[in-house]
């Protein structure tokens, strides 16, 4: 163990001296986190407001309830703004011009048809360039009509007996809240604000570059011809690998801790429970260490290792959602992102940042440690070549 620390101390002094570790471990991630946090608005505070109009050719009870009860309630939530248009043609033209998000067109006899148990259709004309806002407008109507449809039979029966009316339906629809809640693809986990997201994302992204300094330095020892000298020294030869691991670990942890502190004070990132964050950091460093070691053992030269490691670090970083929130991508991306330590780290950080306790880091930490165990096991198959003089 003593020899490992001697080797690590030497490696660290070399890395500090050539400034590469400082650049990739501190300057680049902090700089990018600051830049991203400054130029990209907070995704958690994005507001999608649809400008809608209603053309009521029906004049019946159901359309009137939608216009008079549902839309004002949704408008009060800030999701919709209802504008007045006198005709369907005028409103449709406004949608095409982009001045209106969507227009609801209730056909004549709509309410009568539904109340008599028949079928009816509401037309929505939406702006394709504002897909999210159009979807909000559609979702509001869908939810209302689904509720009308679900309770239709009961309402019909109740109305015949005088026990309920359309107002009851409206009230129940609004109470359900379903019409105004957008589905959250990350609903099972808490989301990070933009500042914390980019701070954590850049920290874990550059962690893989920082950690590779230690791992790849074993190849540098061979390149310099010093590896045989180390192997001939009165030390256990595993101390050499241990020294490289200590170097990677110290660089990785130091980089992440410094970034966490710096982004907390400089841009107000909220990392959450410090102990939980540290556990995540340790697990993340171990995962990065294992993956970078696995990549390094297949390389023959330091340059080759650096190239391979850069490719893997960037690919995993992209897939792991360090540059954009996975909740804004397709669901399949969120699924495959779990094949990266980055996604687990950010998930744990999101939960901690959202106020959850230490239990939130258990699953992400175990997942990241599993990466370490598997990749180190694979890398150790090449241990003979790694320690060959």
Partner 1 sequence: MIICVKDDRQAKWNVMLMPSEAKGCNLNVLECSGLVKAFDELVAVDDVGFHIAEGETYGLLGPNGAGKTTTISMISGILESDAGRVMVAGKEITTRTTDGNAEIGYVPQDIAIYPDLTARENLRFFGKLYGIPKDRLGPRIDEVLEVIGLSDRGDDRTEEYSGGMKRRLNIGIGLLHEPSLLILDEPTVGVDPQSRNSILESVELLGQSGTAVLYTTHYMEEAERLCDRVAIIDGGKIRAEGTRRELVELVGQRDTVNLGVIGSAHRLVEDLRSVSEIQQITAAEGSVEILVDGASRVLPRILEVAQEAGVGISGVEVVEPNLESVFLHLTGKALRD
300-329 residues near partner 1, rule: CB under 8 A: none
Distance CA 217, CA 252 (A): 15
Distance CA 22, CA 33 (A): 16
Scanning 98-165, the segments in alpha helix (DSSP H) are 110-115, 131-161
Instruction: State the nearest-atom distance from the C-beta of 133 to partner 1, in Å.
Output: 58
CA distances (Å), 83 to each of 1, 141, 237, 286, 353, in order?
74, 16, 77, 57, 39
Q: What is the CA radius of gyration of the chain?
A: 29
Q: What is the x/- site pattern for partner 1, positions 190-229, by CB under 8 A?
A: ----------------------------------xxx-xx
Nearer residue to partner 1 within complex by CB, 22 or 233: 233
CA distances (Å), 318 to each of 38, 108, 205, 312, 334, in order?
20, 52, 9, 10, 12
Nearer residue to partner 1 within complex by CB, 3 or 62: 3
CA atoms within 13 A on the CB side of 266: 16
Nearer residue to partner 1 within complex by CB, 211 or 230: 230
Q: What is the x/- site pattern for partner 1, positions 229-268, by CB under 8 A?
A: xxxxxxxxx-------------------------------
Q: Does 274 bind partner 1 (CB under 8 A)?
A: no
Q: Does 383 bind partner 1 (CB under 8 A)?
A: no
Phi, psi dihedrals of residue 288, rounded to the nearest 5°: -65, -40
Q: Does 6 bind partner 1 (CB under 8 A)?
A: yes
Stretch that binds partner 1, among 2-10, 26-34, 112-120, 336-344 (CB under 8 A): 2-10
Other C-beta atoms within 10 Å of 132: how many?
Answer: 12
Among 1, 17, 261, 300, binds partner 1 (CB under 8 A): 17
Nearer residue to partner 1 within complex by CB, 163 or 228: 228
Q: Catalog residues that contact partner 1 under the rule CB under 8 A.
A: 3, 6-7, 10, 13-14, 17-18, 224-226, 228-237, 389
């Amino acid at each position: 163990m003593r020899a490992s620390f001697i080797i690590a101390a030497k490696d660290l002094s070399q890395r500090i001296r050539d400034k590469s570790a400082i650049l990739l471990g501190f300057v680049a991630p902090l700089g990018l986190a600051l830049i991203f946090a400054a130029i990209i608005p907070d995704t958690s505070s994005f507001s999608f407001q649809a400008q809608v109009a209603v053309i009521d050719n029906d004049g019946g009870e159901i359309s009137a309830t939608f216009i008079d009860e549902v839309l004002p309630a949704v408008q009060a939530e800030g999701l919709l703004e209802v504008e007045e248009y006198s005709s369907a043609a005028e409103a449709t033209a406004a949608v095409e011009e982009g001045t209106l998000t969507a227009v609801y067109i209730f056909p004549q006899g709509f309410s009568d048809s539904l109340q008599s148990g028949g079928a009816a259709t509401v037309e929505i004309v939406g702006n394709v360039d504002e897909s999210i806002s159009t979807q909000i407008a559609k979702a509001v109507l869908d939810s209302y009509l689904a509720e009308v449809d679900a309770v239709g039979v009961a309402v019909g029966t109740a109305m015949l007996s005088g026990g309920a009316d359309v107002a009851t339906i409206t009230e129940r629809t609004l109470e359900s809240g379903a019409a105004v809640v957008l589905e959250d693809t990350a609903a099972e986990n808490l989301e990070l604000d933009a500042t914390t997201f980019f701070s954590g994302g850049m920290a874990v992204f550059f962690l893989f570059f920082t950690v590779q300094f230690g791992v790849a330095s074993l190849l540098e020892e061979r390149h310099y011809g010093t590896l045989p000298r180390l192997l001939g020294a009165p030390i256990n030869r595993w101390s050499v690998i241990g020294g490289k691991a200590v170097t990677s670990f110290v660089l990785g942890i130091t980089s992440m801790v410094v970034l966490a502190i710096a982004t907390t004070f400089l841009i107000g990132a909220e990392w959450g429970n410090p102990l939980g964050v540290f556990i995540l950091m340790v697990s993340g460093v171990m995962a990065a260490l294992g993956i970078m070691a696995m990549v390094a053992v297949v390389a023959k030269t330091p340059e080759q290792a650096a190239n391979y490691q850069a490719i893997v670090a960037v690919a995993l970083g992209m897939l792991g959602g360090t540059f954009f929130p996975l909740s804004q991508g397709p669901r399949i991306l969120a699924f495959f992102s779990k094949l990266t330590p980055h996604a687990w780290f950010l998930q744990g950080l999101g939960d901690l940042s959202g106020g959850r306790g230490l239990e939130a880091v258990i699953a992400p930490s175990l997942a990241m440690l599993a990466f370490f165990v598997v990749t180190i096991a694979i890398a150790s198959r090449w241990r003979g070549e790694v320690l060959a003089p």
